């Protein structure tokens, strides 16, 4: 027994010291470099409800990516059919992933075209409608569809990461959740609305020509000419704050998109010092832009972002060199954010915010303060009470309790688990439960002493008999804790984590540590009566 | 120090007929309240909706806030005082797809309407309908699974299905009472409260097991006595521990209640109720169940374990 006393001490002391070392980074930031390399941890990670910040869950509408993909194929097909002189009555996209054509002419000719260049669309049905006209339905190959969806999600993740990187948040966390959800955590963010705007915009940049011959008035009444659409420009009067929507009649075909952007920067107008966004195209884009401007001099080109017309300047001359400007009534922040999203690229599919939890920094600080106060008051009460009721043995229990807290916090730091406000409550609760284990043991020891057993024997029996009850009751609470972790999210998980770790630490400290102290006391100190 | 003099003997089990009536009434009241209110008051977490906690730097009355919301046409918003002075909670419970825009609009509108009494957005939450449903489902699973897991664990450890049953029925009782309490006091059933329910499950069974463990031991020692007496003796023997532990945890929970801040407040309330019923159910639900089972079901079986 004496020998094991020494070995056990060494083991427990080592664990305790290790735990304290793990906690040092949380308490102080002035640690020597070599220390940081040896002990693999940083401060305890605080949840958003304690540090303040924003938690977002986005859902990527990957289905829309398929829609746009099929839409593009449809447009290509239309052009191809026209180029080859194959007469086609109707070429439409139907549902999300189908194209329906009414086609006539040599069957072999269009069959060859479809199988050679459009094998990605599988033939769903084809029927002769009479008069040499065939109705053909094509559907996108499902494997390709899945591929597109997955790509869309990956790309969305990447794009959002880019945008957030440029926004400048410290320690952002952006991860994929499930198959189509993106989790974003931005700790310490001060302007959550701006972040939401930045993240949620699709940011699709398009260039379309104005239909200058068409009748805007008639179109507004419902008579939209074939191949045209109406889009609006949102104009905010800086003096009154009133919003006007100015309609534009545009040719639907998109001549160029933001895909070809190389760079976008905020610049100041030399005349009025108003901010604008300067665009720079890559080589492909520059050439394309040259073609478009060359072919449409004196016509108006609309610059559209997410179906909103930003401006529609007149093309004065063919523009080589691949530069353009987006002007509008921006303030610097708006221009800067626009530049960010253009640089990072458009989202391949729209995203929808399905969950947001934002905590302002002041609430966070408040919560930390209240959490610490609660913990200290509870701990103080329990420590004093234990001494009062169990005298010196109570002091032993107190040592165990304090060690319990230290070990729990150290485990949090080691596993990079997050401490949340409910987590602090969990910590406080596990302190309460730790009392239970100690009480069980002490009451048992008292009983044995009352029955007349010797001190050594009483301690032995006390622990022995209390053990099963302690294990059973702690394990059942642990089961609840683990299930809570599995099924909970965010702050609730924090609670489950601290409660569960607290329970495990509890079993260790209440049973093993206090046992050692009792052993040491009764063996080495040769006591006649136990102060319990 | 001795809180309970050794050898005290209260006849706890003796009054079990009375407590059975009391328990039945309590359960009926709780279930009644829940049915009356049409289910639990699911918070934004589960029903979907938005929540904005604002704090004004100058005195503002709740009717001013309500007025401001009316002005911007938000009819479904509920406002309540929350937390400190001039601090309010605005809630809309709605399953809708554009909650995020609503939240942004409300925040912007309030900021501009109260330009001279600057307000701070302390906290904002938006939970879409799909997410809410997800969480609801998960919460039910969590509670359900814990009950099952614990039933199995207890049955295994105590070798008799009756103990497992006693434990489970007492847990059901506790869960119903806690839900009843939040239904009656109008506390929102949020994720935090669900955490409480699971904690209570853990605590209550904790308590029950300590007693059962003692019974298990005493059965071996007191072969001549009948089971009812053994239960009584066991409860009395562990009385000191029960009072001490539950007392200390109760104090801890009360500290949380008073000092933990408004978010923890609801949490602590549910915990207080849960703790009381947890202790009560051990003596007056779990034990009678075991006794009844042993008496009526295992009739004629020797209690020789």
Cα separation, A409 vs A403, in Å, equals 10
Residue A490, pLDDT above cutoff 60 = yes
Residue of B nearest to A368 (CA): B260
Q: To the nearest whole number, what is the mean pLDDT of chain B?
A: 81
Q: What is the pLDDT of residues B191-227, one digit of tens each?
A: 777 778 877 887 788 888 888 888 888 888 888 888 8
- Residue A47 is classified by DSSP as P
- Residue B142 shares a structural domain with residue B239: yes
Whether pLDDT at A2 is above 60:
no
Are B205 and A435 within 8 A, CB to CB? no
Give the residue from B132, B249, B224, B276 showing the smallest Cα distance to A428.
B249
Tell me if chain B has a CB within 8 Å of the CB of A73. Answer: no
Does residue B264 form part of some domain? yes
Q: Which run of H or E residues covers position A338?
A: helix A332-344
Is there a single domain that holds both residue B230 and residue B137? yes
State the DSSP code for B296. I
**Of A28 and B172, more confident:** B172
Nearest Cα of chain A lies from the Cα of B3 at a distance, in angstroms, of 9
Of B86, B111, B127, which residue sits at a domain end? Answer: B127
Is B136 part of any domain? yes
User: Smallest CA–CA separation between A140 and chain B, in Å?
Assistant: 28
B195 to A469: CB separation less than 8 angstroms, yes or no: no
pTM equals 0.74
pLDDT at B304: 46
Same structural domain, B145 and B284: yes
In a domain, B8, yes or no: no
- A353-406 pLDDT, tens digit each: 888 888 888 888 888 888 888 888 888 888 888 888 888 888 888 888 888 888
State how far residue B2 is from chain A, nearest Cα, in angstroms.
8
Closest partner residue to A488 (CB to CB) among B6, B195, B245 is: B195
Give the nearest partner residue to B131 out of A355, A439, A473, using CB atoms. A355
Residues B28 and B146 in one domain: yes
Asked if A488 has any chain B CB less than 8 Å from its own CB, the reply is yes
State the pLDDT at residue A448. Answer: 86
| Distance, CA of B191 to CA of A47 (rounded, Å) | 15
Q: Which of A381, A390, A479 best probes binding to B when mutated, by most B CB atoms within 10 angstroms?
A: A479
The percent of residues above 90 in pLDDT, for chain B, comes to: 0
pLDDT digits (tens, 9 = 90+) for A189-245: 878 888 888 888 888 888 888 888 877 787 777 777 777 888 888 776 666 666 778
Q: Are residues B169 and B33 located together in one domain of the fold?
A: yes
Residue B1 lies in a domain: no
Position A183 pLDDT exceeds 70:
yes
Q: Is residue B289 part of a domain?
A: yes
Structure tokens at A24: 């040092």
Q: B24 and B141 share a domain?
A: yes
CB of A529 less than 8 A from some CB of B:
no
pLDDT (mean) for A309-325: 83
Cβ-defined contact of B146 to A474 (cutoff 8 Å): no
Contact A385 B248 (CB under 8 A): yes
Q: Which of B127, B161, B183 is the last residue of a domain?
A: B127
> B78 and B28 in one domain?
no
Query: Is A358 in CB contact (< 8 Å) with chain B?
Result: yes
Per the model's pLDDT, the better-predicted residue between A289 and A226 turns out to be: A289
- The token duo for A54 is 């924003």
Q: Is residue B302 part of a domain?
A: no
**Number of domains composing chain B:** 2
Where residue A516 falls among pLDDT bands split at 50, 70, 90? confident
Residue B4: the pLDDT is 64
* Residue A239, pLDDT score: 65
**CB contacts, 8 Å: A365 with chain B:** none
A365 in reach of chain B (CB within 8 A): no
Residue B76 lies inside a defined structural domain of this protein: yes
The answer to whether residues A396 and A404 touch, using CB atoms and an 8 Å cutoff, is no
Closest by Cβ to B267, choosing from A422, A447, A480: A422
Residue of A48, A484, A510 to mutate for B, most B C-beta atoms under 10 A: A484
**Residues forming CATH 3.30.1360.200 domain(s) in chain A:** 201-353
Q: Which residues of B touch A474 (CB under 8 A)?
A: 206
Contact across the interface for B199 and A480, Cβ inside 8 Å: yes
In the predicted model, is pLDDT for residue B12 greater than 80? no
Rounded CA-CA distance A164/A174 in Å is 9
A496 contacts B195? CB cut-off 8 A? yes
Is A91 part of the contact surface with chain B (CB cutoff 8 Å)?
no
Q: Do both B20 and B81 map to the same domain?
A: no
- Let me know whether B151 and B289 are in one domain: yes
Write down the pLDDT at residue B30.
87
Question: Does residue A490 sit at the B interface (CB-CB below 8 Å)?
Answer: yes
Residue limits of CATH 1.20.1640.10 in chain A: 2-52+360-524
Alpha-helical (H) ranges within A126-229 are: 142-167, 192-200, 216-220
Return d(Cα A466, Cα B217) in angstroms, integer: 11
What is the model's pLDDT at position A473? 78
- Find how far residue B189's CA is from the centre of its chain: 10
Contact A422 B142 (CB under 8 A): no
Considering only the beta carbons, identify the residue of B3, B125, B213 that sits closest to A469: B213
A451-466 pLDDT, tens digit per residue, is 888 888 888 888 888 8
What number does CATH give the domain A2-52+360-524?
Answer: 1.20.1640.10
**Do B159 and B32 share a structural domain?**
yes
- Report residue A185: phi and psi, to 5°: -125, 125
Q: What is the CATH number of the domain that holds B254?
A: 1.20.1640.10
CA distance B198 to chain A (A): 6
> What is the Cα A156 distance to its own chain's centre?
12
CB contact A360 to B (< 8 Å): yes
CB pairs under 8 A between A and B: 210
B49: left (phi over 0), alpha (psi -120 to 50) or beta: left
Integer CA distances (angstroms), B188 to A41, B42, B43, B179, in order: 38, 6, 5, 10
Identify from A367, A432, A481 which residue to disrupt to test chain B contact, counting B C-beta atoms within 10 A and taking the largest count: A432
- 8 Å CB contact of B206 and A476: yes
Residue B120 and residue B169 share a domain: no
Task: Kindly report the nearest CA distance between residue B157 and chain A, in angstroms.
Answer: 8
pLDDT at position B305, please? Answer: 45
Q: Are residues B38 and B170 in the same domain?
A: yes
Q: Which residue has the higher pLDDT, B269 or A43?
A: B269
From B186, B141, B175, select the one nearest B41 (Cα to Cα).
Answer: B186
Task: Indicate the CATH number of A63-144 among 1.10.10, 2.40.230, 3.90.400, 3.30.1360.
Answer: 3.30.1360
Inspect the interface and report whether the beta carbons of B153 and A469 lie closer than 8 Å.
no
Instruction: Determine, for residues B123 and A436 on separate chains, whether the beta-carbon distance falls below 8 Å.
Output: no
Residues of B in contact with A486 (CB under 8 A): 142
B29-32: Cβ within 8 A, 24+ apart: B29/B180, B29/B184, B30/B176, B30/B177, B30/B179, B30/B180, B30/B181, B30/B183, B30/B184, B31/B176, B31/B180
Q: Is residue B148 part of a domain?
A: yes
Put simply, the chain A residues between 404 and 443 with a CB less than 8 A from any chain B CB are 421-422, 425, 428-429, 431-433, 435-436, 439-440, 443
Strands A256-257, A243-251: pairing kind: unpaired
- Note the pLDDT tens digit of each residue in B122-158: 888 888 888 778 877 887 888 788 888 888 888 788 8
Interface of B with A in 18-77 (CB under 8 A): 53, 55
User: Where among B98, B127, B156 does a domain terminate?
Assistant: B127
Of B123, B146, B210, the CB nearest to A360: B123
Averaged pLDDT score across all residues of chain A: 82
> Where residue B63 sits, what CATH number does that domain have?
3.30.70.3400
Count Cβ atoms within 10 A of the Cβ of residue A101 and give its class: 0-12 exposed, 13-18 middle, 19 or more buried. Answer: buried
Mean pLDDT calculated for residue range A241-269: 82
Give me the residue from A381, A382, A479 closest to B146, CB to CB.
A479
CATH class of A201-353: alpha beta
A21-30 long-range contacts, CB within 8 A, separation 24+: A22/A410, A22/A413, A22/A414, A23/A406, A23/A409, A23/A410, A23/A413, A25/A413, A26/A409, A26/A413
Higher pLDDT, A60 or B146: A60
Q: Tokens 């922040």 identify what position?
A: A333
Interface test with A, best of B261, B266, B267, B286 (most A CBs within 10 A): B261
Percent of chain B with pLDDT over 70: 95
pLDDT band for position B6 (cuts 50, 70, 90): low
- Cβ separation of B120 and A468 shorter than 8 Å? no
Contact yes or no for B150 and A479 at CB 8 A: yes
Name the band, by pLDDT with cuts 50, 70 and 90, for residue A3: low
Range of the structural domain that residue B115 is part of: 49-127
Torsion of CA A213, A217, A218, A224, to 10 degrees: 70
């Amino acid at each position: 027994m004496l020998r094991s006393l020494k070995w056990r001490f060494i083991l427990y002391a080592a664990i305790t010291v290790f735990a304290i070392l793990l906690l040092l980074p949380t308490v102080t930031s002035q640690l020597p470099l070599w220390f940081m390399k040896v002990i693999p941890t940083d401060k305890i990670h605080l949840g958003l409800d304690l540090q303040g910040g924003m938690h977002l869950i986005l859902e990527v509408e990957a289905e829309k990516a398929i829609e746009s993909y099929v839409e593009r194929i449809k447009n290509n097909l239309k052009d191809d059919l026209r180029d080859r002189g194959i007469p086609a009555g109707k070429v439409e996209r139907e549902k999300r992933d189908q194209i329906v054509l009414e086609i006539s002419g040599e069957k072999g000719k269009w069959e060859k075209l479809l199988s050679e260049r459009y094998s990605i669309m599988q033939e769903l049905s084809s029927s002769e409608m009479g008069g040499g006209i065939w109705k053909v339905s094509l559907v996108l190959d499902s494997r390709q569809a899945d591929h597109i969806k997955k790509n869309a999600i990956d790309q969305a993740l990447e794009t959002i990461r880019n945008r957030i990187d440029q926004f400048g948040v410290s320690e952002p966390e952006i991860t994929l959740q499930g198959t189509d959800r993106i989790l974003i955590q931005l700790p310490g963010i001060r302007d959550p609305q701006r972040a939401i705007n930045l993240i949620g915009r699709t940011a699709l940049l398009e260039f379309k020509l104005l239909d200058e011959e068409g009748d805007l008035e008639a179109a507004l009444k419902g008579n939209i000419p074939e191949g045209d659409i109406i889009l609006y420009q949102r104009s905010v009067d800086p003096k009154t704050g009133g919003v006007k929507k100015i309609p534009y009649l545009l040719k639907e075909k998109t001549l160029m998109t933001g895909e070809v952007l190389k760079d976008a920067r905020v610049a100041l107008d030399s005349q009025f010092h108003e901010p604008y966004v300067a665009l720079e195209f890559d080589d492909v884009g520059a050439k394309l832009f040259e073609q478009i401007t060359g072919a449409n001099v004196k016509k108006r080109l609309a610059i559209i972002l997410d179906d909103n017309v930003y401006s529609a300047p007149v093309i004065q001359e063919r523009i080589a060199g691949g530069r353009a400007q987006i002007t509008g009534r921006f303030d610097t922040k708006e221009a800067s954010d626009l530049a960010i999203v253009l640089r990072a690229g458009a989202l391949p599919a729209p995203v929808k915010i399905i969950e947001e939890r934002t905590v302002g920094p002041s609430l966070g600080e408040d919560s930390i303060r209240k959490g610490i106060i609660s913990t200290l008051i509870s701990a103080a009460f329990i420590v004093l009470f234990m001494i009062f009721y169990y005298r010196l043995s109570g002091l032993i229990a107190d040592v165990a309790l304090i060690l319990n807290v230290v070990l729990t916090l150290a485990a949090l730091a080691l596993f990079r688990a997050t401490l949340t406000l409910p987590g602090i409550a969990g910590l406080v609760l596990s302190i309460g439960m730790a009392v239970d284990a100690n009480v069980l043991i002490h009451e048992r020891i008292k009983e044995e002493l009352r029955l007349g057993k010797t001190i050594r024997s009483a301690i032995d029996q006390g622990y022995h008999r209390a053990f099963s009850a302690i294990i059973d009751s702690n394990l059942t609470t642990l089961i609840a804790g683990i299930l809570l972790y599995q099924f909970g999210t965010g702050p609730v998980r924090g609670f489950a984590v601290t409660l569960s770790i607290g329970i495990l630490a509890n079993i260790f400290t209440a049973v093993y540590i206090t046992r050692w102290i009792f052993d040491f006391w009764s063996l080495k100190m040769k006591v006649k009566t136990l102060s319990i | 120090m001795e809180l309970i003099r050794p050898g005290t003997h209260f006849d706890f089990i003796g009054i079990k007929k009375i407590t059975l009536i009391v328990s039945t009434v309590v359960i009926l009241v709780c279930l009644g309240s829940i049915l009356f209110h049409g289910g639990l008051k699911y918070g934004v977490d589960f029903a979907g909706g938005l929540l904005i906690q604002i704090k004004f730097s100058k005195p503002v009355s709740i009717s001013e806030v309500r007025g401001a919301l009316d002005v911007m046409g938000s009819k479904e918003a509920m406002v309540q005082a929350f937390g400190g002075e001039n601090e309010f909670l605005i809630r809309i419970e709605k399953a809708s797809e554009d909650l995020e825009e609503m939240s942004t609009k409300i925040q912007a509108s309030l900021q501009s309407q109260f330009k001279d009494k600057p307000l701070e957005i302390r906290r904002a939450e938006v939970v879409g309908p799909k997410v809410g449903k997800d969480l609801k489902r998960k919460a039910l699973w969590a509670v359900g699974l814990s009950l099952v897991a614990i039933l199995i664990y207890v049955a295994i450890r105590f070798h008799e299905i009756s103990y497992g049953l006693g434990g489970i029925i007492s847990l059901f009782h506790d869960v119903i009472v806690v839900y009843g309490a939040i239904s009656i006091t109008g506390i929102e059933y949020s994720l935090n409260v669900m955490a409480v329910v699971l904690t209570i499950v853990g605590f209550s069974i904790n308590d029950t097991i300590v007693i059962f463990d003692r019974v298990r031991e005493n059965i071996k020692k007191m072969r001549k006595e009948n089971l009812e007496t053994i239960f009584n003796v066991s409860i009395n023997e562990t009385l000191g521990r029960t009072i001490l532990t539950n007392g200390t945890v109760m104090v801890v929970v009360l500290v949380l209640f008073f000092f933990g801040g408004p978010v923890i407040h609801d949490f602590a309330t549910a915990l207080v109720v849960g703790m009381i019923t947890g202790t009560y159910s051990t003596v007056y639900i779990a034990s009678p169940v075991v006794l009844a089972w042993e008496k009526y079901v295992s009739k004629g079986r020797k209690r020789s374990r």
